């Protein structure tokens, strides 16, 4: 089917060329690229197959065939010694920034243009780590939407970005500006704050208008906001319902940052599509996840990273942040263990930006600690994350018609996740971004 289309395109080009078409003398390659895979994990969750060839034209996978094929291939990429699998998906990053001692000055020293250029660096690092898709859940809207569009247009090398822009939050909430003098807070305030159902409808509409692909909200307090306001529910039930209804009517999914059980359960009851962190969720919460079909994105790496920092003598973390940071990591891993046993749908996400960009794959080992098999952890970062982000028709598997988002690692990652932290080959939408020999 696709092959026929390709031939038709070649004829159309030759019709404009006037002179004898090149394909009349030399046989045209039917495929731009053929990747010969020693083992192919085409659909994570199913068993890998030995000795397969993935054939690609343009940015799309044409087909997958048995054996090492090269006929009709303009370029053959030998990955015979490796396991080839779909590009990884991180459902929760902040691609424009990284935590550190000076991070809080960024808000008053950096422009949107500065943040976009920072994002270019982090996006490249993320892609080279094997992540061909990310969801950016909170950052400068102007910068992140421009970066998303530049990557999609092929101007900049990076993962496909599903972008939220600024998270919607109540006044003083986790995604409101915090930790500055009142006059600085007043100067930095944006249109993402909302108070009351009507105002929260406005905030959703303005986020969609600005370019948001997905709506991120802060249902509870957060660890890294410099406020002494705990981790409990912050958006009211009425505000949550207004947000879900407005976002869904505009075709957008809603994902909620939530640590406290009250906020997790309230967001689930209001019809949220995903819970981020979900730290203090319990058996009752798991029932709510299952009733609504909402996804859980645990971001264990963020918890581990902030705990490491909070435990250092002379940490840069302000006291209210440090106290919250020391508690969450150990709780989170137990919650994920119980949620998995209860049958909650879990998608891979890291909150990278809290941790270092390019280290996203450290989450795999943490999921394994929480009871995942390596194969389940890979499925969470491919098939499942694609479904969560509504991208199953685009990425998450190696199958005809999907984007050629393909990586390769040494060894068998369905037995041991360690090689996923050292990805050797990366192709994003048909373009090779990395091939270590």
Q: Given the rule CB under 5 A, which residues bind Zn ion?
A: 351
Find the distance separating the first CA and the last CA of the chain, reported in whole Å.
34
Which residue, 94 or 434, has its beta carbon nearer to Zn ion? 94
Q: How far apart are CA 66 and CA 71, in angstroms?
A: 13
Q: How far is the CB of 121 from Zn ion (least distance, A)?
A: 19
Q: How far is the CB of 159 from Zn ion (least distance, A)?
A: 16
Which residue, 351 or 405, has its beta carbon nearer to Zn ion? 351
44-83 burial: b if 16+ Cβ within 10 Å, else e? beeebeeebbbbbbebbbbbbeeeebeeebeeebbbeebb
Which residue, 328 or 398, has its beta carbon nearer to Zn ion? 328
Q: How far is the CB of 3 from Zn ion (least distance, A)?
A: 43
Alpha-carbon separation of residue 171 from 86, 178, 189, 218, 240 (angstroms): 41, 10, 10, 11, 14
Q: How far is the CB of 429 from Zn ion (least distance, A)?
A: 25
Q: How far is the CB of 94 from Zn ion (least distance, A)?
A: 6
Alpha-carbon separation of residue 392 from 151, 263, 351, 381, 386 (angstroms): 20, 29, 22, 12, 5
Alpha-carbon separation of residue 152 from 44, 140, 147, 148, 163 (angstroms): 25, 18, 9, 6, 12
Tokens of 257: 């940052």
Stated length of the chain: 437
SS3 content of the chain, % helix, strand, coil (to 5): 40, 20, 40
Q: How far is the CB of 417 from Zn ion (least distance, A)?
A: 23
Query: Do the Cβ atoms of 245 and 218 come closer than 8 Å?
Result: no
Which residue, 222 or 419, has its beta carbon nearer to Zn ion? 222
Which residue, 90 or 128, has its beta carbon nearer to Zn ion? 90
Which residue, 140 or 351, has its beta carbon nearer to Zn ion? 351
Q: How far is the CB of 325 from Zn ion (least distance, A)?
A: 14
Q: How far apart are CA 39 and CA 322, in angstroms?
A: 45
Beta strand pairing call for 76-86 and 33-40: parallel
Which residue, 273 or 351, has its beta carbon nearer to Zn ion? 351
CB nearest Zn ion: which residue? 351
């Amino acid at each position: 089917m696709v092959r026929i289309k390709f031939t038709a395109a070649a004829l159309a080009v030759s019709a404009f060329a006037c002179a004898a078409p090149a394909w009349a003398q030399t046989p045209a390659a039917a495929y731009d690229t053929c990747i010969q895979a020693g083992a192919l994990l085409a659909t994570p969750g199913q068993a890998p197959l030995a000795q397969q060839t993935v054939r690609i034209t343009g940015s799309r996978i044409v087909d997958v065939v048995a054996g090492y094929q090269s006929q009709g291939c303009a370029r053959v990429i030998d990955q015979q010694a490796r396991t080839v699998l779909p590009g990884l998906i991180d459902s929760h990053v902040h691609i424009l920034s990284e935590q550190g001692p000076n991070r809080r000055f960024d808000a008053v020293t950096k422009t949107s243009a500065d943040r976009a250029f920072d994002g270019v660096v982090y996006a490249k690092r993320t892609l080279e780590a094997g992540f061909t898709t990310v969801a950016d859940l909170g950052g400068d809207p102007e910068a992140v939407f421009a970066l998303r569009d530049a990557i999609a247009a092929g101007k900049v090398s990076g993962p496909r970005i599903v972008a939220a822009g600024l998270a919607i939050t109540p006044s003083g909430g986790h995604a409101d500006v915090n930790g500055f003098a009142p006059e600085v807070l007043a100067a930095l305030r944006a249109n993402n704050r909302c108070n009351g159902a009507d105002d929260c409808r406005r905030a959703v509409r303005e986020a969609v208008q600005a370019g948001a692909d997905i709506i991120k909200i802060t249902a509870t307090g957060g660890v890294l906001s410099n406020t002494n306001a705990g981790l409990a529910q912050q958006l009211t039930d009425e505000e949550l319902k207004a947000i879900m209804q407005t976002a869904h009517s505009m075709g957008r999914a809603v994902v909620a940052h939530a640590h406290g059980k009250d906020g997790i359960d309230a967001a689930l009851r209001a019809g949220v599509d995903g819970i981020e962190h979900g730290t203090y969720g319990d058996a009752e919460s798991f029932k709510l996840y299952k009733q609504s079909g909402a996804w859980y994105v645990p971001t264990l790496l963020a918890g581990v990273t902030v705990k490491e920092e909070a435990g250092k003598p002379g940490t840069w973390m302000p006291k209210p942040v440090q106290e919250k940071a020391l508690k969450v990591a150990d709780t989170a891993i137990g919650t994920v263990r119980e949620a998995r046993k209860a049958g909650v749908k879990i998608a891979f996400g890291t909150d990278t930006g809290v941790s270092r960009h390019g280290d996203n794959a450290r989450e795999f080992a943490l999921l394994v600690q929480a009871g995942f098999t390596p194969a389940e952890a890979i499925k969470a970062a491919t098939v499942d994350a694609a479904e969560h982000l509504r991208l199953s028709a685009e990425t998450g598997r190696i199958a005809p018609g999907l984007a050629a988002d393909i990586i390769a690692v040494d060894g068998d990652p369905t037995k041991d996740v360690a090689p996923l932290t050292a990805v050797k080959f990366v192709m994003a939408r048909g373009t090779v971004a990395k091939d270590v020999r």
